[in-house]
């Protein structure tokens, strides 16, 4: 119905996969659809788009403190019963995996995980137009120890 009414148009077709890429024909139709139709069906209790915009903006503006605050507020909403309770290595891997998924889902930037370098692997790298963020995840370590490791490994 949405296609037949002109709200969506076929932008591409993959014969091998038998899939269509549908999109709005223009921004006017897209905005009209989102405001008038989708708003009645999609009524989230929390405005995630706002959190995503703020988080992406913090990365774009080179504001790691704000990014950490936003990430902490997001992660603190996860019930403690869902957190890993196994060994310490499992806890660190679970956080690493969760962080990577969040970054891939919200970010318009390049995200690498377990990026191999000549001196080892980097847990996560996020590249923006102006900044490169290097994340090293450690359980029960100090920030100084982690920064020392990053500097030693180059």
Same domain membership, residue 110 and residue 34: no
Question: Is 80 part of a structural domain of the chain?
Answer: yes
Same domain (yes/no): 91, 16? no
Same domain membership, residue 53 and residue 126: yes
Res 48: pLDDT:
56
Are residue 30 and residue 54 in the same domain, yes or no?
Answer: no
3-state DSSP percent of the chain in helix, strand and coil, to 5: 45, 20, 30
> For position 65, what pLDDT does the model report?
94
110 and 52 within one domain = yes
| pLDDT (0 to 100) of residue 3 | 62
Residues 124 and 144 in one domain: yes
What pTM value is reported for the model? 0.58
In a domain, residue 4? The reply is: no
In sequence order, the 6+-apart residues with CB closer than 8 A to the CB of 91 are 83, 84, 139
pLDDT at 62: 94
pLDDT value at position 44? 54
- Give the pLDDT of residue 127: 92
Is 56 among the domain residues?
yes
In contact, 123 and 114? CB cutoff 8 Å = yes
Series of mean pLDDT values for 10-residue runs along the chain (154 residues): 72 85 83 68 61 89 93 82 66 80 84 83 89 86 86 80
Q: In which domain, by residue range, is 35 found?
A: 9-41
- Closest by CA position to 83, among listed 91, 71, 73: 91
Does residue 109 share a domain with residue 94? yes
Of 112, 123, 131, 110, the closest CA to residue 153 belongs to 123
How many independent structural domains does the chain possess? 2
Closest by alpha carbon to 96, among 80, 110, 114?
Answer: 114
What pLDDT is stored for residue 67 in this prediction? 93
Question: Are residue 92 and residue 18 in the same domain, yes or no?
Answer: no
DSSP 3-state of 102: helix
């Amino acid at each position: 119905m949405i296609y037949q009414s002109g709200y969506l148009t076929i932008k591409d077709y993959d014969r091998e996969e038998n899939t269509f890429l549908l999109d709005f024909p223009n921004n006017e139709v897209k905005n009209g659809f989102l405001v008038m139709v989708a708003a009645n069906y999609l009524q989230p209790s929390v405005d995630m788009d706002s959190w995503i915009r703020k988080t992406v903006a913090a990365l774009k503006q080179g504001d790691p403190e704000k990014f950490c605050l936003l990430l902490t507020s997001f992660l603190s909403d996860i019930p403690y019963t869902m957190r890993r309770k196994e060994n310490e290595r499992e806890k660190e891997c679970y956080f690493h995996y969760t962080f990577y998924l969040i970054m891939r889902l919200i970010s318009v930037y390049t995200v690498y995980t377990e990026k191999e370098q000549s001196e080892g692997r980097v847990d996560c790298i996020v590249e923006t137009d102006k900044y490169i963020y290097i994340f090293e995840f450690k359980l029960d370590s100090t920030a100084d120890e982690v920064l020392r490791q990053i500097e030693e490994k180059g």
